[in-house]
Amino acid sequence: MLKHSLTFILLISISTLFSQNNTNYWQQYANYDMDIDFDDTNYQYEGDQKLVYSNNSPDTLTRVFYHMYFNAFQPGSEMDVRSRTIQDPDSRVGDRISKLSESEIGFMRATSLTQDGVALDYELAGTVLEVELHKPILPGGSSTFTMKFEGQVPKQIRRSGRNNAEGVELSMTQWYPKMAEYDFEGWHADPYIGREFHGVWADFDVKITIDKDFILGGSGYVQNPNEVGYGYEAEGVDVKRKGKKLTWHFIAPDVHDFAWAADKDYIHDTVTGNDGTTLHFLYKDNTDIKENWKNLQSKTVELLDYFNEHIGPYPYDQYSVIQGGDGGMEYAMCTLITGERKFGSLVGVTAHEMAHAWFQHILATDEAQHEWMDEGFTSYISGLAMNEVMDQNRENPTAGNYRGYVSLANSGYEQPQTTHADRYAYNRAYGTSAYSKGAVFLGQLGYLIGKGNLQEVLNRYFDEWKFKHPTPNDFIRVAEKETGAELSWYLNDWTRTTNTVDYAITDVNTAQGTTNITLERIGLMPMPLEVKVDYKGGTSETFYIPLRIMRWEKPTAGTVVEDWAWAYPTYNLEVPSTRYGIEKIEIDPSGFMADVNRENNVLILEE
């Protein structure tokens, strides 16, 4: 199950009553038991769900909410209308939902719901089921909800669905009634409009009864491998295929989602990682892609090693890479990716989605409010991993993210990263803010505190906040505690405003053997500066100007000079040399400061 079984037992027994340096921290917990009967002739299914919900909050709950995601795939849904009215729609969605027939739409609805045996009143509002409780759930209390529900798998459009472009029959994500998260901010009953997810930490026990010819993979551990023929048959044991259907039994401990995929033509391979993790690969029996998928397996072992070292130890016993979906999307203990790709792209999408196993499915940030913490951190670390695993030898593996961010910052379309993921005016603005600007947040933090310190921060962040729901402040406090630097200004300016970094060299003059370099802060966002001076004859010197509000100096950054307070728009840097001995002056020669106009960062002095 979990590699560290004692840790797992403690997590289950006291679930969310523990905290890290905050005695007020709490989080909810749930136990799902689900039995699903699937009809692949019409892609409909019926389910029985028993959900034991533990209220670890200090609040009395009088209602709950369930996500009913498949209802997004109906003409007139919020996802449909938003896609048809936003100026730059996701091409995978476009106006496709509006054209779905009754047999192609998705739906999910409860047919009965009880709390501790008493029938409840509920109302379906799009993709959210609103439920009034018969009896309040008191702090420290729990209730058992039983629901009968039915669903129809939509034609593949976004993430979930049937018969995707590569012929995978079932990509079953966001497929079950899922309890909404309740935390210190209250309920997170967000409608499914297009972005990603937030969920309650839970244990899942799932039985899926489906045509016996399907091969399944997904979250959790198969409990009856010999019965379903999942590649674990003991020698001489016959696979029991009774009747037309088989029941696959999965258990997924301490996760906040459950996903699966199924196809009658999957090849299933397993490889054991160096840490003992079983890596599963499920992909179509397609001669055009088999070689790439075989070669992917050793690279996935290398990626697992990289993330274990540079984030923290992967705690589960398995991870699955599954062909399906509409691109790449992470889920608990697995990912669904499209598989008809060139090899480099196949490794790249696996690297990104696999990194999400740490930054979203172990460190479970709210992706509706803090999507950049997941997508950005994942983009940053997967770029570094690809640089090593694929021998790319790039000096700055995050350089592409810097270019993307600078383009957005100069476009006039940027919104603060505190914007709710569904409230961005443009899809491009959302994507660049979440992925590129989020990655630059870490790359630039490395510039602020040093790459070695950044690595220590990431390891400590994982160790302190795994199996919780960290917020941006939780991360920056880890960075402050690890380094001693004051960094709240960095979090504020970078994520809560659209202030930019822009420094310039505006004047150079020499008097009495000293060269005076005038620097100007043009952008509103401050930074400590590294200024490199190249002298004639081939020598150079780097001067480090600390930022006063940071109250800290980066080790080995160069010759430390007087600090710079934010309110002063200019700074005079005195260099003990004549002007005629200097060839070039450059602000931020490393390029890890996200200056939005680097043309004024360099001055080459004339003869």
What is the per-residue pLDDT for 578? 65
Identify the CA nearest to 556 among candidates 593, 530, 584: 530
What is the per-residue DSSP string for 286-310? -TTTHHHHHHHHHHHHHHHHHHHHH
What is the per-residue pLDDT for 607? 60
Low-confidence ranges of the chain (pLDDT < 50): 6-21, 232-237
What is the per-residue pLDDT for 241? 53
Question: Do residues 556 and 563 make contact, with C-beta atoms less than 8 angstroms apart?
Answer: no
Which residue type occupies 525?
A: M
What is the per-residue pLDDT for 576? 81
Question: Do residues 108 and 149 make contact, with C-beta atoms less than 8 angstroms apart?
Answer: yes
What is the per-residue DSSP string for 319-364? EEEEE-SSSEEEETTEEEE---S-HHHHHHHHHHHHHHHHHTTTB-
Q: Which of 353, 371, 480, 586 is catalytic?
A: 353
Q: Is the sign of the CA dihedral 253, 254, 255, 256 positive or negative?
A: positive
Centre a 10 Å sphere on the Cβ of residue 165 and count the other Cβ atoms it contains.
Answer: 11
Respond yes or no: is residue 221 known to be catalytic: no
Check the annotation: does 599 bind a ligand. no
DSSP 3-state helix, strand, coil percentages of the chain (rounded to 5)?
A: 30, 30, 40
How is residue 140 written in tokens? 């420290």
Phi/psi for 93 (5° steps) reads -105, -60
b/e map of 525-547 (b: 16 or more CB within 10 Å)?
bbbbbbbbbbeeeeeeeebbbbb
All residues at 6 or more sequence positions from 538 whose CB lies less than 8 Å from its CB, including other chains: none
Burial (Cβ within 10 Å: 0-12, 13-18, ≥19) of residue 111: exposed
Which residue type occupies 255?
A: V
Q: Are strands 540-545 and 559-560 parallel, antiparallel or unpaired?
A: parallel
Instruction: State the Cα angle at 219 between 215 and 221, rounded to 5°.
Output: 80
What is the per-residue pLDDT for 256? 98
In the three-class reduction of DSSP (H, G, I as helix; E, B as strand; rest coil), residue 121 is classed as strand
Question: Do residues 122 and 130 make contact, with C-beta atoms less than 8 angstroms apart?
Answer: yes
Question: Do residues 498 and 508 make contact, with C-beta atoms less than 8 angstroms apart?
Answer: no
Check the annotation: does 235 bind a ligand. no
Question: Do residues 17 and 201 make contact, with C-beta atoms less than 8 angstroms apart?
Answer: no
Which residue type occupies 495?
A: T
- Share above pLDDT 90 across residues of the chain, in percent, rounded to a whole number: 89
Check the annotation: does 188 bind a ligand. no
Respond yes or no: is residue 586 known to be catalytic: no
- Length of the chain in residues, anyone? 607
Q: Where are the beta strands (DSSP E) in 127-228?
A: 128-137, 142-152, 161-162, 170-172, 178-179, 181-183, 186-188, 201-211, 215-218, 221-222
In eight-state DSSP terms, residue 19 is -
What is the per-residue pLDDT for 7? 45
Q: Which of 435, 447, 490, 571 is catalytic?
A: 435
Largest CA distance in the chain: 96
Give this prediction's pTM: 0.94
In eight-state DSSP terms, residue 513 is T
Cα–Cα distance measured from residue 476 to residue 484, given in angstroms and rounded to the nearest whole number: 11
Q: Could you tell me the domains of the chain?
A: 503-604 (2.60.40)
What is the per-residue pLDDT for 308? 98
All residues at 6 or more sequence positions from 345 whose CB lies less than 8 Å from its CB, including other chains: none
Cα–Cα distance measured from residue 226 to residue 234, given in angstroms and rounded to the nearest whole number: 7
| Helix or strand holding residue 489 (H, E) | helix 488-496
How is residue 306 written in tokens? 């990289």
What is the per-residue pLDDT for 511? 80
Cα–Cα distance measured from residue 433 to residue 436, given in angstroms and rounded to the nearest whole number: 6
